Every structure is written in C-alpha cells, then in structure tokens.
C-alpha cells in the first residue's frame, strides 16, 4: 500500500505539473457548466401557453360547459389563453399564420348527439410548429371528453331521475385535474434545475477524462521504459496498478468535490445532501475507473488509449444525458441511458437535489459500483499483458 | 597472475590483477541455474546458469537477440521464468518475491527515467520505492549525482538532458540504493564516445568497490575491458564461460608481441629462436612480430634477449586474441551479425 501511495504521489505531481489534469478536471467542466447555465434557460421553468379559440356551432350544454367552465379554469392555470374569433375560417387562418395555436370547432348538434348516446366529433386545428402547445390544447379537450364519455351512462341515468346535471360532470372533470397535467416522462424521479443539471452533468462527463490520466499512465510507464524498473523494485507488482488506481481516484474525487463547491457558490447549483452527493461521487469515480481501465488494457500506446477513452467518454456522456435532460428525449433514450453511469449519477443527484434523503442514492450507487465490478473483472483478464515488462 | 595489456584509448600500459587471484575466495552474490524462457515456439533462454562473486564484473557477451535481456529480466524478477532458480545475496528472486529485489540495481537497456521530473526527483522517487530511509535519502541522492557527474544539473528536468546525461542518470538510479548486484543491460548503446568512456569508468570503479556487476553487451571491447569473467551467449544458450584468457585458450589462440627495434631486427630474430615458447617470428624494417603462447609470461625473457643482443627496444605492444575471434570460433558468426 505504501508503494502505491508513492507511485500515486509521483503521478499526481506529474499531472499537476503538466496542467492537463487541472484543465480537464476543473477548468473545462466548471467553464462549460457556467456557460450552459448562463445560456440555456432553466428547463424546469419552461412555460408552454397555448393561444386557443373556440367556434361553437353547437350551442349545446356540453360545448357550453367546456367553453364557460373548463377553459376558464385551465386558463387560470396559465396553460391556455382563449381568444375570440367570429368564424372557423378566420380562426383557421390565424392558426396557419401562427398567431393562434389551435382552434376548437364544435359542430352543430354535438351536445344533442352525445346526450342521446350517439357519436359526435370535435375538430381541432393546430399549429404544427407549436407541437407542445397544440398537444396541450388537445389534451385539455381529450380529458374533458373522456370524462364526459366515462360518466355518460351514469349521467344519463342520473339526469333522468333528476339527481345530477352537466354542472356535476364539469365539476368532477375539473376536480380530476387530468386535463391540465402533462405527462412527465421523468415522473418517477425528481428533475434537476438547469444550473444543477449542467453542473452535475459536466462533472460526471469530465470525470471520465480526469480518471483516465491515472489509468493510462501505466502505458506511459511502458512508453518511458520505467515499467520494468517498477516491476524490478522491491514492491508487490500489484502496487503499481494500485498506485494508478489511487491516482485516478484522487483526481476524480478532487475534481468532483471542487466542482460541486464551486458551482454551489458561483451559480447556485443545489447538489443536495453532502453525504449523499459524496457517496454518488465515490461510486461514479469507481465506475469511471473500471470503464477507463477496461478501455486502456486493449490499447498499446498512451496515444491509442487516450483516443479510445475519449470516444468512450463522449459516447457514454451523450447517451447518459449529461448535455440535455433525458426527460426531453424519447423514452427509449431514457431506457438505454441506464447503461451508463452518467444517467445513474444524475438520477441520484436529481433525487438528492429534490430533497430526498440518503436512501435516494442507494440504487444509483449500487448500479455504478456494478459497472466498476464488471469492467474491472473484464480488464483483469488482460492483467498479464498490462504488467508485462 | 599479472598481465600487461595495451589500452588503445589511453595509450598507456595498464596492470590488471586477474580475478582468479583477487576475488576467487569471495562469496557468490548471484547464483542462477537452469533458467528457461520461451515465447510461444521461440525458446529465448535455454538452461542458462552462472554465478557472480562479490566485487566481480561478469559479462554476458552476445549479439542482439541472443537472450541477454531475457536472462537479466528473469534475474531481476521482472520476467517469470519457465524453469530455473535465481538467488541474489541468498534470497530467491521471482516475480512474486520482493525481499531480494532490494539487493539488485537494475539498469535497463532503454533509458528509463521520467522526462518531466528533475534528476533529483527521479532519484527521490526510486529511492522511496527501494525503501531508503528519509534521513539517508537526501545525502545519498547528492552522492549519486556527484558520481554520475550531474550535481550541477540535478534540479533540471531530464527532458532537457543530452542522451549521455540521461544514460548516466539511468545508471545512477540503479546505484542509488547501493545494491549487492548491479545489472547493466547494454548501458552504452547509442552513447557518444565521451559518455561511453565515463560509463565504463564508473563500472570499473563499482567492481573495485565490491559491487557485483552483471554487464550485458554486444561490444567485445567493453567485455574485455570491464569483465573479470565472460559468458558467451547465443541462441539463448551459454556457449562458453570463463576469464578472457580461459576463453582464448579454449579455442587455442596465441598472443602477438610487436616490438619496435633500434638496431638489427634480424640479429634479434636469430637470438629469439632460442626461446622455446615462441611459435613464430616475423621481422620487418624497425619491427619484429612474435607469435607466442602466454605473452605476459614470456615478455620479460624476450626483453632480456634483446638487451643481450644489444638491440634497443622503442616500443612493446601485446595483442591478445580477442573475444570476437572466440565468439566467431564458437558460434560461426560475428558478434555484430
């Protein structure tokens, strides 16, 4: 163990001296986190407001309830703004011009048809360039009509007996809240604000570059011809690998801790429970260490290792959602992102940042440690070549 | 036994005490036997064994690819042997043992230093690895820098050094922990003549200080100058081993004595025919070439005959058969093939 620390101390002094570790471990991630946090608005505070109009050719009870009860309630939530248009043609033209998000067109006899148990259709004309806002407008109507449809039979029966009316339906629809809640693809986990997201994302992204300094330095020892000298020294030869691991670990942890502190004070990132964050950091460093070691053992030269490691670090970083929130991508991306330590780290950080306790880091930490165990096991198959003089 | 040999580089006569008398009773620092190493189908080292006594300089002489580096890698505990045993200062050496490694100073063939560290930092790092006590390490680093002539450049990064300076530091790291056995793997390859001479002088001093030295080279002159005993290795096998004289006698080679004469060379030739050890005499204008068994033993008698004949001697040169010719005889090829 003593020899490992001697080797690590030497490696660290070399890395500090050539400034590469400082650049990739501190300057680049902090700089990018600051830049991203400054130029990209907070995704958690994005507001999608649809400008809608209603053309009521029906004049019946159901359309009137939608216009008079549902839309004002949704408008009060800030999701919709209802504008007045006198005709369907005028409103449709406004949608095409982009001045209106969507227009609801209730056909004549709509309410009568539904109340008599028949079928009816509401037309929505939406702006394709504002897909999210159009979807909000559609979702509001869908939810209302689904509720009308679900309770239709009961309402019909109740109305015949005088026990309920359309107002009851409206009230129940609004109470359900379903019409105004957008589905959250990350609903099972808490989301990070933009500042914390980019701070954590850049920290874990550059962690893989920082950690590779230690791992790849074993190849540098061979390149310099010093590896045989180390192997001939009165030390256990595993101390050499241990020294490289200590170097990677110290660089990785130091980089992440410094970034966490710096982004907390400089841009107000909220990392959450410090102990939980540290556990995540340790697990993340171990995962990065294992993956970078696995990549390094297949390389023959330091340059080759650096190239391979850069490719893997960037690919995993992209897939792991360090540059954009996975909740804004397709669901399949969120699924495959779990094949990266980055996604687990950010998930744990999101939960901690959202106020959850230490239990939130258990699953992400175990997942990241599993990466370490598997990749180190694979890398150790090449241990003979790694320690060959 | 005392022999006189001509040192061409310094144009002076050296007197060398042969190791059989000087060091014969010393304990063995290195004992290795039955070393075998194969890489797939290629048997790089095949049943190699030898010993080196305290203060003895032992040469492994062979061409590139002969198995020298593989042999010393096994002796240093760097490379696992397929068979055989290595003992250094009474401690077994393998890739799994560490105790005996502190007795070995290993100087690899390629320069093995950190270019972004200073010489002092390089020495300090390896000194710590070899467990030199903290209070001893600083003074010892100063001593080594002095020995290798880098005291005034010790705080410069080694990437700024010349090739020769790097070579000297390479050796200095091997010397730092005062090993019982210093292993030098072709330390003069690619070195300028001045640095080469400096390295050879350092090795000579080491032998005199009692350090056992294992020196591999494919330069016949270095083996002849430095080594008390030499093993000729080729194709992974030791073909012959012994002192230079023993090796030369093994193949029946004779010494040549060249005399510069003042006076009648022919008169001297006639008188020298009475000396039974002389095998052949050739006279030329102002010089006589004599082929003889054991020049060091016969030379005083030759000079005596010249004096009795009234022939002045302007110069004496003894040319012993060299290891190049021995190697050629044993392997059928030249050292640099």
Residue B32 confidence class, pLDDT cut points 50, 70, 90: very high
* Same domain, yes or no: A26 and A154: no
In this complex, which of A10, A233, A234 lies closest to B99 when CB atoms are compared? A234
Q: Contact A229/B108, CB-based, under 8 Å?
A: yes
Within 8 A of B108 by CB-CB distance, chain A residues are 225, 228-229
Say what the pLDDT of residue B200 is: 85
For A3, nearest residue in chain B (alpha carbons): B129
C-alpha distance from A226 to closest chain B C-alpha (Å): 5
Residue A40: left (phi > 0), alpha (psi -120 to 50), or beta? beta
The residue written with tokens 């300094």 in the block is: A213
Average pLDDT over residues B247-269: 81
Within 8 A of A18 by CB-CB distance, chain B residues are 116
Residue A239 inside a domain? The answer is yes
Q: Contact A232/B76, CB-based, under 8 Å?
A: yes
Judge if ipTM > 0.90: no
* Same domain, yes or no: A199 and A264: yes
Within 8 A of A236 by CB-CB distance, chain B residues are 98
Q: Contact B111/A225, CB-based, under 8 Å?
A: yes
CATH number at residue A116: 3.40.1710
Query: What CA–CA distance (Å, rounded) separates A256 from A206?
Result: 9
Q: Contact B129/A231, CB-based, under 8 Å?
A: no
Within 8 A of B100 by CB-CB distance, chain A residues are 234
Say what the pLDDT of residue A169 is: 52
In this complex, which of A226, A228, A234 lies closest to B131 when CB atoms are compared? A234
* Same domain, yes or no: A111 and A165: yes
DSSP category for residue B118:
B
Q: Contact B101/A233, CB-based, under 8 Å?
A: yes
Coil vs helix vs strand at B104: strand
Query: What CA–CA distance (Å, rounded) separates A274 from A277?
Result: 5
Residue A132 inside a domain? The answer is yes
Longest CA–CA span in chain A (Å) reads 97
Q: Which of A141, A175, A209 is the last residue of a domain?
A: A175
**Among the listed residues B57, B65, B91, the one whose alpha carbon sits nearest the alpha carbon of residue B77:** B91
Say what the pLDDT of residue B57 is: 92
Q: Which helix (H) or strand (E) holds A330?
A: none
* Same domain, yes or no: A171 and A196: no
Query: What CA–CA distance (Å, rounded) separates B215 from B234?
Result: 15
| pLDDT greater at residue A173 or residue B159 | B159
Residue A351 inside a domain? The answer is yes
How do A123-126 and A102-106 pair as beta strands? antiparallel
| pLDDT greater at residue A367 or residue B193 | A367
* Same domain, yes or no: A166 and A197: no
Residue A186 inside a domain? The answer is no
Beta bridge partners of A52: A82, A102
Token duo for residue B81: 């042997």
Q: Which residues of A touch B (CB under 8 A)?
A: 3, 6-7, 10, 13-14, 17-18, 224-226, 228-237, 389
* Same domain, yes or no: A146 and A109: yes
* Same domain, yes or no: A243 and A370: yes
A378 to A127, A141, A310, A372, B334: CA distances (angstroms)? 52, 54, 19, 10, 47
3-state secondary structure A70-109: HHHHHHHCCCEEEECCCCHHHHHHHHHHCCCCEEEEECCC
Quick check: B242 pLDDT over 70? yes
How do B91-92 and B83-88 pair as beta strands? antiparallel
C-alpha distance from B119 to closest chain A C-alpha (Å): 13
Say what the pLDDT of residue B10 is: 33
Q: Is B111 on the interface with A (CB under 8 A)?
A: yes
C-alpha distance from B240 to closest chain A C-alpha (Å): 28
Lowest mean pLDDT, pick from A16-25, B211-220, B227-236: A16-25
Residue B70 confidence class, pLDDT cut points 50, 70, 90: very high
Token duo for residue A261: 């502190």
Q: Contact A228/B113, CB-based, under 8 Å?
A: no
Q: Which residues contact A102 (CB under 8 A, 6 or more apart)?
A: A50, A52, A53, A95, A124, A125, A126, A127, A133, A134, A137, A138
* Tens digit of each residue's pLDDT (9 = 90 or more) over B281-318: 888 878 888 888 778 888 888 888 888 888 888 888 88
Quick check: B120 pLDDT over 90? yes
* Tens digit of each residue's pLDDT (9 = 90 or more) over A121-139: 888 887 765 656 777 787 8
* Same domain, yes or no: A166 and A110: yes
Lowest mean pLDDT, pick from A88-92, B16-20, B257-261: B16-20
Give backbone dihedrals phi and psi of B230, rounded to 5 degrees, phi first: -135, 140
Q: Contact A230/B129, CB-based, under 8 Å?
A: yes
Q: Contact A225/B112, CB-based, under 8 Å?
A: yes
Testing the interface with A: which of B89, B106, B129 to mutate, by most A Cβ within 10 A? B129
Query: What CA–CA distance (Å, rounded) separates A273 from A290?
Result: 26
Quick check: B90 pLDDT over 80? yes
* Same domain, yes or no: A142 and A207: no
Residue A68 inside a domain? The answer is yes
Q: Which of A113, A144, A175 is the last residue of a domain?
A: A175
B229 to A1, A30, B18: CA distances (angstroms)? 41, 64, 10
Whole domain around residue A98: which residue ranges?
Answer: 50-175
Q: Enumerate residue ranges in chain A where pLDDT < 70.
A: 40-49, 128-132, 150-192, 325-331, 383-389
Question: Is residue B81 within 8 Å of B74, Cβ to Cβ?
Answer: yes
Residue B135 confidence class, pLDDT cut points 50, 70, 90: very high
Say what the pLDDT of residue B336 is: 59
Quick check: B227 pLDDT over 70? yes
Within 8 A of A234 by CB-CB distance, chain B residues are 98-102, 129-131
Residue A187 inside a domain? The answer is no
Q: Which of A175, A207, A224 is the last residue of a domain?
A: A175
Question: Is residue B329 within 8 Å of B321, Cβ to Cβ?
Answer: no
Q: Per the structure, how many domains does chain A have?
A: 2
Residue B255: left (phi > 0), alpha (psi -120 to 50), or beta? beta
Within 8 A of A232 by CB-CB distance, chain B residues are 76-78, 101, 104, 106
In this complex, which of B77, B113, B116 lies closest to A232 when CB atoms are compared? B77
User: What residues 130-189 of chain B have any CB closer than 8 A to a CB of chain A?
Assistant: 130-131, 173
Q: pTM for the full model?
A: 0.68
Within 8 A of B104 by CB-CB distance, chain A residues are 232
* Same domain, yes or no: A344 and A267: yes
Residue A275 inside a domain? The answer is yes
Quick check: B223 pLDDT over 80? yes
* Same domain, yes or no: A234 and A344: yes
* Same domain, yes or no: A19 and A165: no
Residue A180 inside a domain? The answer is no
% of residues, chain B, pLDDT over 90: 32
| pLDDT greater at residue B108 or residue A127 | B108
| pLDDT greater at residue A158 or residue B77 | B77
Q: Is B216 on the interface with A (CB under 8 A)?
A: no
């Amino acid at each position: 163990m003593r020899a490992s620390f001697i080797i690590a101390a030497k490696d660290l002094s070399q890395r500090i001296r050539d400034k590469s570790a400082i650049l990739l471990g501190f300057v680049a991630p902090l700089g990018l986190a600051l830049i991203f946090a400054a130029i990209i608005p907070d995704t958690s505070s994005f507001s999608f407001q649809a400008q809608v109009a209603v053309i009521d050719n029906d004049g019946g009870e159901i359309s009137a309830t939608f216009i008079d009860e549902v839309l004002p309630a949704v408008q009060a939530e800030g999701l919709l703004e209802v504008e007045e248009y006198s005709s369907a043609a005028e409103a449709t033209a406004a949608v095409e011009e982009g001045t209106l998000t969507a227009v609801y067109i209730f056909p004549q006899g709509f309410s009568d048809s539904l109340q008599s148990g028949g079928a009816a259709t509401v037309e929505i004309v939406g702006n394709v360039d504002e897909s999210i806002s159009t979807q909000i407008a559609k979702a509001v109507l869908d939810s209302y009509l689904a509720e009308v449809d679900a309770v239709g039979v009961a309402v019909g029966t109740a109305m015949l007996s005088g026990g309920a009316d359309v107002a009851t339906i409206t009230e129940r629809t609004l109470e359900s809240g379903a019409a105004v809640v957008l589905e959250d693809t990350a609903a099972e986990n808490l989301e990070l604000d933009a500042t914390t997201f980019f701070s954590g994302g850049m920290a874990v992204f550059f962690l893989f570059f920082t950690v590779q300094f230690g791992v790849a330095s074993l190849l540098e020892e061979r390149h310099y011809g010093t590896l045989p000298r180390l192997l001939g020294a009165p030390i256990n030869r595993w101390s050499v690998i241990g020294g490289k691991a200590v170097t990677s670990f110290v660089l990785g942890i130091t980089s992440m801790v410094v970034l966490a502190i710096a982004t907390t004070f400089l841009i107000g990132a909220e990392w959450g429970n410090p102990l939980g964050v540290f556990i995540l950091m340790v697990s993340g460093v171990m995962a990065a260490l294992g993956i970078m070691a696995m990549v390094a053992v297949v390389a023959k030269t330091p340059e080759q290792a650096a190239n391979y490691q850069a490719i893997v670090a960037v690919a995993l970083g992209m897939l792991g959602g360090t540059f954009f929130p996975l909740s804004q991508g397709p669901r399949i991306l969120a699924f495959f992102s779990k094949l990266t330590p980055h996604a687990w780290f950010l998930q744990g950080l999101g939960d901690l940042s959202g106020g959850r306790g230490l239990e939130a880091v258990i699953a992400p930490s175990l997942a990241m440690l599993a990466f370490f165990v598997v990749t180190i096991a694979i890398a150790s198959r090449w241990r003979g070549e790694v320690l060959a003089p | 036994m005392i022999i006189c040999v001509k040192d061409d580089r310094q144009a002076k006569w050296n007197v060398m005490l042969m190791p059989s008398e000087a060091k014969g009773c010393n304990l063995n620092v290195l004992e290795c036997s039955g070393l075998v190493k194969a890489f797939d189908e290629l048997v790089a080292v095949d049943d190699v064994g030898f010993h080196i006594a305290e203060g003895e300089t032992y040469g492994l002489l062979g061409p590139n690819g002969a198995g020298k580096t593989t042999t010393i890698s096994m002796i240093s505990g760097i490379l696992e042997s397929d068979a055989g045993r290595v003992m250094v200062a009474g401690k077994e050496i393998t890739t799994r043992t560490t105790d005996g490694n502190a007795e070995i100073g290993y100087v690899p063939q390629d320069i093995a230093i950190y270019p972004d560290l200073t010489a002092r930092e390089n020495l300090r790092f390896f000194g710590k690895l070899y467990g030199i006590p903290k209070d001893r390490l600083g003074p010892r680093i100063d001593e080594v820098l002095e020995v290798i002539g880098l005291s005034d450049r010790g705080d410069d990064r080694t990437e700024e050094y010349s090739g020769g300076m790097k070579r000297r530091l390479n050796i200095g790291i091997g010397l730092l922990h005062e090993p019982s056995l210093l292993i030098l793997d072709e330390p003069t390859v690619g070195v300028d003549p001045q640095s080469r001479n400096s390295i050879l002088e350092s090795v000579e001093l080491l032998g005199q200080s009692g350090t056992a030295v294992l020196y591999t080279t494919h330069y016949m002159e270095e083996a002849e100058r430095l080594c008390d005993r030499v093993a000729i290795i080729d194709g992974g096998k030791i073909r012959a081993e012994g002192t230079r004289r023993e090796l030369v006698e093994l193949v029946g080679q004779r010494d040549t004595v060249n005399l510069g004469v003042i006076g009648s060379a022919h008169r001297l030739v006639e008188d020298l025919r009475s000396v039974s050890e002389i095998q052949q005499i050739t006279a030329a204008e102002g010089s006589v070439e004599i082929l003889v068994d054991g020049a060091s033993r016969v030379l005083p008698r030759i000079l005596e005959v010249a004096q009795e004949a009234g022939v002045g001697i302007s110069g004496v040169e003894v040319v012993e058969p060299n290891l190049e010719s021995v190697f050629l005889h044993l392997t059928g090829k030249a050292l640099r093939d």
